[in-house]
Amino acid sequence: MKILMVTAELTPFAKTGGLADMVSALSLALHKTGADVRIVMPRYYSIPREGLTRLEDPLGVPLAWKEEWTAVYTAKLSGKVTVFFIDHEQFFGRDGVYGSPWERDFHDNPLRFSLLCNGAFQLCRKLSWIPEVIHAHDWSGALAMPLLKFRERYREFKKTAGVFTIHNMGYQGIYPKDFFPQLGLPWDCFYASGFEDWDRINFLKAGISSAAALTTVSPTYAREIQSPESGFRLDGLLRARASCLSGILNGVDTEIWNPSKDAFLAKKYTLNTVSTGKAANKRALQERMGLEVSDKIPIIGIVTRLVDQKGVAELFAPTWGCMYRVCATMKVQVALLGSGEHWCESEILELQKKLPVFRAQVGYSEELSHLIEAGSDFFLMPSRYEPCGLNQMYSLLYGTLPIVRRTGGLADTVQNYDERTGEGTGFMFDNLTPDTVYDTVGWAVWAWYNKRDHITEMRKRGMAQKFGWDIAAKSYLQVYRNALGKH
Ligand code: ADP
Ligand code: GLC
């Protein structure tokens, strides 16, 4: 089967979150099944042209009244899957995927991602390679779905099915409708394609309305988004399209996230060597973060985008966030890596000045994120909502017990601790408040000091979990086949 992925992010080329990991791992898993998968994404300024191969001819992409000219570069993902990079200085020759510290959401994003999606079709034409499935991800790839459905421009794609994956309902891509003429659709599609949203354009809504099949990244999230609390105003639309929607749990790329192979660790380890392995990484993490080196204190790790979705207000909001209380009243250490909202970054730096047991690195670091997973005893993820969440799965595989809110993919991957039997793989709570986070962290810390045999067993249980991509890749192939059946 010929499949084209349309994405704004792809590990290892450009990543702001789990979407990048997911598209990369899914593509490789599909390739392994024998599928002909190709990926198209922008060439951002941060992806050096050296190391990529340039296609000889430029690629013209019509937006509205004029054609944009782009160069196309290629590279192989893990030596296997071809990635095409659309290179356009004005739109992509800047730092940041969706925005920068100075402009959180680039004002010309509709044009940038129109170039990506229209460019994807033009590229296939140029290569004389018409895929059977175009699989687009999140609002930034969503335009590919109505372009395919209405086919005003791209008539030769009449047998191609559109599959759309929702990674996060919280980001919809809503802009003034003045941009609409530059998306490649005629005005009579403004309503028909689902773009219209209170007289603005909504990319995610158009993707959901126009795709032949919809998926999201966990079964629980597939249910949650059909309710007003989690549907971000689109729950009605999702209920209407429920028969086309499936929830497929993301897997983990175990070539990258595997404690027995991980080159970023101070010491690699397996299920049989977990106690010495984790002890060595804990020491390395304490040294690296400037924490007291001791195996007598549990470490809580956090790696996150610092945005409301992740429950950061409940942790760090001045006066009522619970992190100060956790560090001041419990015998714990906290190691945090994160970047995001300014208020939160500066609050974290303030907290660090007051609390020697709280150490943070504000910024992005692939390497430290691996060391935190390996060196921590617990991993805290109190998400307000979590479509899938990858970090709790990385934690389980690294023998680090997740402390999570029971929502979305977290509910599907973590089993709550039962202190009578010792069963479970992590610590869970339902309502997100500073007190519930405080209490659940307290419960985990209590178990670490008082129920060490349970902790040891839970670790092993977590490490034995299987989060491979093989099963998910099969489910996606089934979705593709069903979508094709609809044509
Ligand atoms: P989301 O995509 O909503 O951010 P996920 O849990 O699916 O949540 O994926 C987050 C991914 O981004 C993980 O691979 C995590 O390690 C990584 N990540 C988040 N923040 C940072 C950071 N500051 N430095 C390094 N990696 C990060
Ligand atoms: C989004 C979600 C996250 C999910 C990731 C990959 O960024 O917030 O929960 O794991 O996409 O699908």
The one-digit pLDDT tens for each residue of the chain (487 residues) are 999 999 999 999 999 999 999 999 999 999 999 999 999 999 999 999 999 999 999 999 999 878 999 999 999 999 999 999 999 999 999 989 999 988 989 999 999 999 999 999 999 999 999 999 999 999 999 999 999 999 878 999 999 999 999 999 999 999 999 999 999 999 999 999 999 999 999 999 999 999 999 999 999 999 999 999 999 999 999 999 999 999 999 999 999 999 999 999 999 999 999 999 999 999 999 999 999 999 999 999 999 999 999 999 999 999 999 999 999 999 999 999 999 999 999 999 999 999 999 999 999 999 999 999 999 999 999 999 999 999 999 999 999 999 999 999 999 999 999 999 999 999 999 999 999 999 999 999 999 999 999 999 999 999 999 998 999 999 999 999 999 986 5
Check if 22 has its Cβ closer than 6 Å to any atom of ligand 2.
Answer: yes
Ligand closest to 171 (CA) is 2
Tell me the pairing of strands 36-42 and 81-87: parallel
Ligand 2 centroid–CA 17 distance in Å is 7
Taking CA atoms only, the protein residue closest to ligand 2 atom 1 is 167
Residue 453 vs residues 297, 456, 459: alpha-carbon distances, Å: 16, 5, 10
Q: Which residues pair with residue 429 across a beta bridge?
A: 405
User: Residue 487: what pLDDT?
Assistant: 53
Ligand 2 centroid–CA 69 distance in Å is 32
Distance from the first to the final alpha carbon of the chain: 15
CB 438 within 8 A of CB 475: no
User: Residue 65: what pLDDT?
Assistant: 79
Check if 170 has its Cβ closer than 6 Å to any atom of ligand 1.
Answer: no
If one residue of 98, 252, 390 were mutated to test the ligand 2 pocket, choosing by the most ligand atoms within 8 A of its CB, it would be: 390
User: Residue 66: what pLDDT?
Assistant: 85
Check if 369 has its Cβ closer than 6 Å to any atom of ligand 1.
Answer: yes
Structure pTM?
0.96
Rg of the Cα atoms in the chain? 23
d(CA 318, CA 326): 14
User: Residue 183: what pLDDT?
Assistant: 96
Residue 341 token pair: 């909202």
Residue 3 token pair: 């499949």
CB 429 within 8 A of CB 314: no
If one residue of 98, 166, 168 were mutated to test the ligand 2 pocket, choosing by the most ligand atoms within 8 A of its CB, it would be: 168
Ligand closest to 363 (CA) is 1
What domains are there in the chain, each with its CATH number?
Answer: 2-251+469-486 (3.40.50.2000), 271-463 (3.40.50.2000)
If one residue of 23, 26, 98, 390 were mutated to test the ligand 1 pocket, choosing by the most ligand atoms within 8 A of its CB, it would be: 390
If one residue of 7, 137, 248, 388 were mutated to test the ligand 2 pocket, choosing by the most ligand atoms within 8 A of its CB, it would be: 388
d(CA 26, CA 474): 10
User: Residue 152: what pLDDT?
Assistant: 76
Residue 288 vs residues 75, 359, 453: alpha-carbon distances, Å: 34, 10, 28
Ligand 1 centroid–CA 304 distance in Å is 5
Residue 43 token pair: 């060439």
Check if 17 has its Cβ closer than 6 Å to any atom of ligand 1.
Answer: yes
Residue 244 token pair: 């086309």
Residue 378 token pair: 């617990």
d(CA 157, CA 213): 16
d(CA 314, CA 250): 27
Check if 303 has its Cβ closer than 6 Å to any atom of ligand 1.
Answer: yes
Ligand 2 centroid–CA 386 distance in Å is 7
User: Residue 259: what pLDDT?
Assistant: 98
Residues 6+ apart with CB under 8 A from 220: 247, 407, 408, 409, 411, 412
Ligand 2 centroid–CA 381 distance in Å is 13
Closest CA to 209 of 190, 183, 227, 223: 190
Check if 376 has its Cβ closer than 6 Å to any atom of ligand 2.
Answer: no
Ligand 1 centroid–CA 366 distance in Å is 9
Ligand closest to 393 (CA) is 1
Check if 462 has its Cβ closer than 6 Å to any atom of ligand 1.
Answer: no
Ligand 2 centroid–CA 138 distance in Å is 10
